[in-house]
Chains A and B, each alone.
Chain A
Amino acid sequence: MPGPMIGRRTALAASLALPFIRPAFAQQAEPYVMGSLFPMSGPNAEFGEAFTRGAQVAIAHINADNMLRRPVRLQSEDSQALPQPSVIGMNKLINIDRASWVLSSWTATAKAIAPIGDRAKTIMVNGGGVGPDLSGLSPYFWNVIALAHLEVRAIVPFLVNQRNVKRVALIYVDDPLGDAILGQLREQLPLHGATLVGSYSVPRAAQQFGSVVARVRQSRPDAIYIASFGAQQAQIVKGLRDNGVTQIICSFSGFGLDGIRTLPEAEGALFTTQKLDFASSDPITKRFADDFQARFGQAPVTYHANYYNAAYLFGLLARQVEQAGGEVNGETMRAAMLATRKFNLVGGEGEFDELGNMLTQLQVNEIRGQRVIAVG
């Protein structure tokens, strides 16, 4: 296995890298490998596809700008959102592809790979999972997305003040994310003079929601908060509307997917994301939005931007390390991140805390006519 693989790869890398390199770097002709561990098959593959697209645009930009002395290549592994395939993929990325930067998503994947990346000093960047348990997994595990507790704090005042909501019901999957949202709603709603009138946990694989909705309706909420993922959240939205619940539907950044945006029943749904104005004149944001539209024929959403940032950050840090004459690896890039802290990314300047969590401002969005519009 190793023989032909290395031969083919070096040959390929050499041909790709030739235009970029000076003779002195000839022995480093191999591209930098950026790994990704997303669910690419199974019920959550829609997320994996979206995440990959964001990263692809970032890598195209890094390569087109000759930001680094070597080109960057994306090596995609299917995590299936399960621990064991994630661990196998992570070991492959580190030990065979020699990736020093891995894009991760999903709680199960993140928790399973964090110890491996920690030992190998490989940077892992999450831009999709928002469970608060994803903070501080390892010094090498960073988040470019606001974690869920912040999202709840952003939407509660909006619901109460702008939409006159007094009673909120929660439908959630009982994982760390759902748990955190439940805790935050319990804490935040009373502070603003509203109450949590019911919380309904559903199994992750559940598909039928008619009966759960009947229970929800009984609690007479003004708004229903949904904390689930993937196809299931769309099913819950449809279940609510089909079964006579006309009240406000709200959620966290998990709603930023095409499957929800284009769902007729999701009209009027509110959800939080980090502050992002794709129509802004900020050059990085504009370039991303234009190129994304051109490449995939769709307008980007927050997830695309998050993984663009997650991948683009590699370009910024590796360039910093290269210019300082260092070797590009997890350790040097972490040092560079801690030294710089602030980066120009899509959506404006992003600042990282010492744990590697990006501090972002949040906004409330509304789905109107299959478009996502910032409302607060």
Chain B
Amino acid sequence: MTAFLINLATLAAISGILASTLNFIVGYAGIFSVAHAVFFGLGAYGGAQVALLLVPNPFLACLVAAVIAGGLSLCLALPALRVRGEYFVAASLGLQMVAATLFAELKPLTGGIGGLVGIPRPELFGMVVPVLPLALVALALILWATARLQRGAFGRTLQSIRDADTAAEALGKNVNAAKTLAVAFACAGAGIAGALYALHLSFINVESFTLDQSIQIMAMVIIGGAGTLWGPLVGAVMLLSLPAVISFIPFIPPTEVGAVQQIIYGSAMTLLMIFRPAGLLGDMSKGKSTS
């Protein structure tokens, strides 16, 4: 039981990082990205290569992952500076699809569809350490940073961007710099999540970094409540543990297991959105939680 829960908790913490960082651009800056899995993947490949080629030091892996993902976040920042709303969603969709093809084709770096195997477990001072505490620390740091940034001047700039770009610009805020920074922060966070994921699973391939994964991260944010600090975390824990809980339902014929579980999962998603459109922790009275 414990090992099962530890694994689930580790994955939940990693998803929590992904959801929180995505929430940072979706909830506070109004940048609706469906390409978050790209940066998750970049971090995972970066972290995995560090562990495979150099040392399985988790801090180094996370650092490299954050630098790669944060650096390449310009691919996402560029359209974010040009367009918004549905246009940006479509741009990030394009980025996601192209990146998934690249992940599958750049075999020397990513192992292609076959992926990277035998990623060593993280070691600190010659001792193997579990990923769970590392993921929890990273999650705590990111939540803390989010809370700080959100309350500070930077957060106010972002929110004014979310509500009206032109007004923000008129107020003398450097909209472009703020957006680029926000995207870089969020993507670097996703990269860290990727490195931890690679170290935890010991195996990664492109199938973990597809559009479906991006949509799932987005669903975590929305179901938990976009623009709230704790909402995305709640959403991540829920969407991750829901299938695990459903799998305990007895007496489903083995050949229908998958379909029945997926139907429950999908219905839960839709019903939650119908009855709690602002998310579980979103403010219903305000009506609009985001955009």
Instruction: Name A's B-contacting residues (CB within 8 A).
Output: 1-2, 5, 8, 36, 39-42, 45, 48-49, 52-53, 56, 74, 76-78, 80-85, 87-89, 91-92, 94-96, 107-108, 111-112, 114-115, 131, 133, 137, 173-176, 179, 203-204
Contacts and interface: CB of A to CB of B under 8 A. Distances in A.
Contact of B247 (A52, A78, A173, A203): A78
Given A52-B254, A96-B4, A204-B113, A1 B248 contact: yes
B208 interface: yes
Nearest to B2: A95
Contact of B114 (A52, A56, A107, A204): A107
Contact of A45 (B117, B248, B258): B258
Contacts, number: 115
A274 to B, nearest CB: 23
B214 to A, nearest CB: 14
Given A76-B254, A111-B115, A88 B2 contact: no
B114 A131 contact: yes
Interface of B: 1-4, 7-8, 11, 101, 104-105, 112-115, 117-118, 201-205, 207-208, 243-244, 247-248, 250, 254-259, 261-262
Contacts of B257: 40, 76-78
A95 B7 CA distance: 11
A88 B208 contact: no
Nearest to A56: B254
Contacts of B8: 88, 91
B105 A174 contact: yes
A36 B258 CA distance: 12
Q: Is the interface of B mostly helix, strand, loop or mixed?
A: helix
A285 B227 CA distance: 62
A179 B105 CA distance: 12
B43 to A, nearest CB: 15
Contact of A83 (B207, B254, B262): B207
Contacts of B250: 8
Given A53-B255, A203-B101, 6 more contacts: A40-B255, A76-B255, A84-B201, A87-B7, A88-B7, A88-B8
B115 A108 contact: yes
Nearest to B240: A88
B113 A175 contact: yes
B208 A48 contact: no
Contacts of B115: 83, 108, 111
A137 B114 CA distance: 13
A261 to B, nearest CB: 19
Nearest to B3: A95
Contact of B258 (A39, A84, A87, A114): A39
A96 B113 CA distance: 31
Contacts of A96: 1, 4
A374 to B, nearest CB: 28
Contacts of A203: 101, 104
